[in-house]
Amino acid sequence: MGNIRFEALKTAFGHNPVAVEVPEGKVKDYFARDVFTRERMKEYIAQEVLDQLLDDVDNGRTIHRDIAGSVAIGIRKWAIERGATHFTHWFQPLTGGTAEKHDAFFTLDKSGALLEEFSGDSLYQQEPDASSFPSGGIRNTFEARGYSAWDPSSPVFLIGDTLCIPTVFVAYTGEALDYKTPLIRSTAALCHAAREVCGYFDKQVKHVHANLGWEQEYFLVDEALYNARPDLMLTGRTLMGHNSAKSQQLEDHYFGAIPARVLAFMRELEYEALKAGIPVKTRHNEVAPNQFEMAPIFEDVNLANDHNLLVMSIMERVAEKHHFRVLLHEKPYAGVNGSGKHCNWSLQTNTGVNLLAPGKNPYQNLQFITFLVNVLMAVQRHNGLLKASIVSATNEHRLGANEAPPAIISVFLGKQISEVLDKLEHAKAEEAIIINAKKEMKLGVANIPEILLDNTDRNRTSPFAFTGNRFEFRAVGSSANCGAAMLALNAAVAEQLMLFREEVDKRIENGEAKERVLFDVIKKYIVACKTIRFDGNGYSEEWKAEAAKRGLDCETSVPLVIDRYIAPESIKMFQYTNVLSEAELQSRSEVKWETYVKKLQIESRVMGDLVVNHVLPAAKRYQTMLLQNVLAVKQVFSADETASLNEMDYSIIRQIEHHSGAILEGVEAMTEARHKANRQPDERSKAIAYHDTVLPLMADIREHADALELIVDDEMWTLPKYRELLFVH
């Protein structure tokens, strides 16, 4: 057999664009074709039942089992008409991604007759085998067996011949074993708290909801090359590989023409996403070669998160058909931009007002400032927790690297908003508020200018930026479930709004005028939240020093950042908002540590295999060739001549010897460190040991392997190189 790398390259170059059949005509002809939308419900569910269902859904009430029975009949009829044979409860375990348990709609009874299986009960509740999902020691704390239960606020949909039912996954004793449950709880807490605060400004507001617009970044790599890289296959990232001579210096990939093969993939991906009711809109190249982005129009946070998870699995499926693999890992290639998932987040009232957009009059502007400042307070008070909500073994490589969000959470506001806050801070109540007969008030600060709405003043180094009418949480990882970050943000802001209201109400009860109190408290907050505001360069060394001085969380070790979940202020906040109990927080951090350990353990093993089975044999083969050459040269030339002739060969031979020796020593030390880490008594200590001892040794080994890649004859190198992984499409 020849060199597997060349075999793979030959196959990759033979891959042509795959023909895609997307129907002609308008998107609206197939948008949400595979979703049991409210429109469709009208056809399949009796009016009375439907009214009850929607009323319960819209008001966040539990659906009655009797209703579920009637709804199930409607769903089944629709699904079977569309060719479905199976159904699955679709849920979001703490390991990330989604999980499914498929069942057929029909079974046969003893006589061989068909029995219909999909009842109200199977819509309502299922019992997947919970033992195979992590519960983070929950077994000791509470009942680990769990069930999945229908989340009627997210519509059921079809994937191929399977009906997918979005569900929560909870323990029998009620504790959440997934991301969806606390996300729903956090949204409820936030929306309630926000509505109460809106009451100061507009009594018409009956409901507030939280929006999420995600931007999913990803890499594509040819399937043949992927299959020739065991590290990509097993860990999702390259554990070694020297930088390509041409990388992203020119940034010519950004907004450049999309290659034909990729375009075919994207067309099909968009078509599949649109059919699933995901309103995808933008497609473009990203900064790095072979890196792309997909973003839909924002939706309600729970639905948007379901859609993001769904898109990730659709991507994988469509990519395979196009002989690509999609890399959702945050850092598949060292030295090349990583992938994130910007989470655009905002609050909107049932009256159509975006609470994070400047308003049309001073009153609305004060409402906007109120929400803005409360978000700042929440992010400041829980900056460590917010960081914990986005860290993972995979996102660790992206954070704090010089082309991604820094490992310190701060908020970018931009010049205009900063000026407004500065003015307000120094305004005297007397000059700032004039209450006229209609109780309208005028702020000392001028109306916030309209141009703010298309704010182009972007600071890409900020992990949490205000972008005109929303906040953009940019530190979230590309492979993450956005729910983890969103539920922490929702809960933190909910708590903050509740505290704000308590304070304001108390003073109003004591007879102070509402406007004056609002003004006073906001002013106080503006001063208090100054430490989280930072518009400068988040990558700079000065900022690290400054942030530490300000008392912001500067921890960079993932296992230690995870501690923030169980810090007293986090526990208090999650309890106060009813989003997560202490036991649930304990179990979540356990799962995070456990996952961290597993990922690093696999990486370290794969790294050992790669250097021993690929790198060293290639290096030795080349070294032997050089040694034979030296001997041959000696036989042919005189001693005088060979001295200078062999100099270069000698040097390379020595370098190979040096790097190979260092790799062997490194692998031995890494294996030893791993064994020691595995012997630690608990998951947290294991994670810390992996972080502190195994990870640095892996970096050392990589350095030597990459050095060998530069020296060894290209024809002998068996692992596809960066230039091939990044530029073949």
Residue 622 touches which of Mg ion, ligand ADP, none (CB < 5 to 8 A by kind)? Answer: none
* Residue whose CB is less far from Mg ion, 322 or 342: 342
Residue nearest to ligand ADP (CB): 213
- Say whether 429 sits in a helix, a strand or coil: helix
Rounded Cα distance, 149 and 637, in Å? 82
Closest separation in Å from C-beta 349 to ligand ADP: 12
Question: Is residue 470 involved in binding ligand ADP (CB under 6 A)?
Answer: yes
Rounded Cα distance, 167 and 157, in Å? 12
Amino acid at site 677: A
Distance of CA 401 to the CA centre of its chain: 17
Q: How far is CA 229 from CA 132, 225, 463, 480, 709, in A?
A: 29, 7, 32, 23, 14
Residue 211 touches which of Mg ion, ligand ADP, none (CB < 5 to 8 A by kind)? Answer: ligand ADP
Interacting positions 244-283 with ligand ADP (CB under 6 A) = 282
Element (H, E) at 616: helix 616-636
Question: Is residue 547 involved in binding ligand ADP (CB under 6 A)?
Answer: no
Q: Which stretch binds Mg ion (CB under 5 A): 14-22, 214-222, 515-523, 711-719?
A: 214-222
Closest separation in Å from C-beta 465 to Mg ion: 9
Element (H, E) at 99: strand 99-104
Q: Which stretch binds Mg ion (CB under 5 A): 38-46, 209-217, 230-238, 380-388?
A: 209-217
Evaluate whether 670 touches 608 at the Cβ level (below 8 Å). Answer: yes
Q: Which stretch binds Mg ion (CB under 5 A): 122-130, 215-223, 597-605, 674-682?
A: 215-223
Residue 150 touches which of Mg ion, ligand ADP, none (CB < 5 to 8 A by kind)? Answer: none
Residue 18 DSSP code: P
Q: Tokens 């109190």, residue?
A: 517
Q: Return the exposure string of 119-156: e unless at least 16 CB atoms fall within 10 Å of the residue's CB, then b.
A: ebebbbebebebeebbbbbbeebbebebbbbbbbbbbb
Question: Is residue 295 involved in binding ligand ADP (CB under 6 A)?
Answer: yes
Number of amino acids touching Mg ion (CB under 5 A): 2
Closest separation in Å from C-beta 374 to ligand ADP: 17
Question: Is residue 470 involved in binding Mg ion (CB under 5 A)?
Answer: no
For residue 534, which phi and psi values (nearest 5 degrees)? -155, 115
* Residue whose CB is less far from ligand ADP, 133 or 219: 219
* Residue whose CB is less far from ligand ADP, 476 or 521: 476
- Say whether 293 sits in a helix, a strand or coil: strand
Q: Which stretch binds Mg ion (CB under 5 A): 95-103, 210-218, 397-405, 715-723?
A: 210-218
Q: How far is CA 536 from CA 384, 407, 414, 460, 532, in A?
A: 20, 15, 10, 10, 12
Q: Which stretch binds ligand ADP (CB under 6 A): 141-149, 290-298, 305-313, 497-505?
A: 290-298
Closest separation in Å from C-beta 281 to Mg ion: 13
Interacting positions 319-348 with ligand ADP (CB under 6 A) = 342, 344-346
Rounded Cα distance, 222 and 15, in Å? 8
For residue 35, which phi and psi values (nearest 5 degrees)? -115, 140
Give 214's strand partners.
343
Contacting ligand ADP (CB under 6 A), which of 181, 211, 410, 481? Answer: 211
Evaluate whether 205 touches 350 at the Cβ level (below 8 Å). Answer: yes
Contacting ligand ADP (CB under 6 A), which of 85, 153, 243, 354? Answer: 354
Closest separation in Å from C-beta 372 to ligand ADP: 13
The DSSP code sequence of 344-372 is: EEEEEETTS-BTTS--SSHHHHHHHHHHH
Question: Is residue 482 involved in binding ligand ADP (CB under 6 A)?
Answer: no
Find, among 285, 194, 236, the residue nearest to 492 by Cα: 194
Give 222's strand partners.
324
Residue 298 touches which of ligand ADP, Mg ion, none (CB < 5 to 8 A by kind)? Answer: ligand ADP
Question: Is residue 342 involved in binding Mg ion (CB under 5 A)?
Answer: yes
Closest separation in Å from C-beta 32 to ligand ADP: 17
Residue 36 touches which of Mg ion, ligand ADP, none (CB < 5 to 8 A by kind)? Answer: none
Residue 470 touches which of ligand ADP, Mg ion, none (CB < 5 to 8 A by kind)? Answer: ligand ADP
- Say whether 379 sits in a helix, a strand or coil: helix
- Say whether 23 sits in a helix, a strand or coil: coil
Evaluate whether 484 touches 394 at the Cβ level (below 8 Å). Answer: no
Q: Which stretch binds ligand ADP (CB under 6 A): 130-138, 210-218, 330-338, 682-690?
A: 210-218
Q: What is the 3-state secondary structure (H, E, C) of 636-693?
A: HCCHHHHHHHCHHHHHHHHHHHHHHHHHHHHHHHHHHHHHHHHCCCCHHHHHHHHHHH
Rounded Cα distance, 562 and 487, in Å? 15
* Residue whose CB is less far from ligand ADP, 122 or 305: 305
Rounded Cα distance, 291 and 285, in Å? 6
Number of amino acids touching ligand ADP (CB under 6 A): 15
- Say whether 495 sits in a helix, a strand or coil: helix
Length of the chain: 729
Residue nearest to Mg ion (CB): 342
Question: Is residue 515 involved in binding ligand ADP (CB under 6 A)?
Answer: no
* Residue whose CB is less far from Mg ion, 185 or 342: 342
Closest separation in Å from C-beta 278 to ligand ADP: 11
Residue 339 touches which of ligand ADP, Mg ion, none (CB < 5 to 8 A by kind)? Answer: none
Evaluate whether 101 touches 89 at the Cβ level (below 8 Å). Answer: yes
Residue 721 touches which of ligand ADP, Mg ion, none (CB < 5 to 8 A by kind)? Answer: none
* Residue whose CB is less far from ligand ADP, 87 or 298: 298
Residues 6+ away with beta carbon under 8 Å from 21: none
Residue 680 touches which of ligand ADP, Mg ion, none (CB < 5 to 8 A by kind)? Answer: none
Closest separation in Å from C-beta 618 to ligand ADP: 42
Interacting positions 567-596 with ligand ADP (CB under 6 A) = none
Amino acid at site 68: A
Evaluate whether 149 touches 168 at the Cβ level (below 8 Å). Answer: yes
* Residue whose CB is less far from ligand ADP, 239 or 417: 417
Contacting ligand ADP (CB under 6 A), which of 114, 260, 297, 453? Answer: 297
Q: Which stretch binds Mg ion (CB under 5 A): 118-126, 212-220, 518-526, 538-546?
A: 212-220
Contacting ligand ADP (CB under 6 A), which of 100, 215, 222, 223? Answer: 215
* Residue whose CB is less far from ligand ADP, 469 or 671: 469
Under the rule (CB under 5 A), what is the footprint of Mg ion? 215, 342
Under the rule (CB under 6 A), what is the footprint of ligand ADP? 211, 213, 215, 282, 295-298, 342, 344-346, 354, 469-470
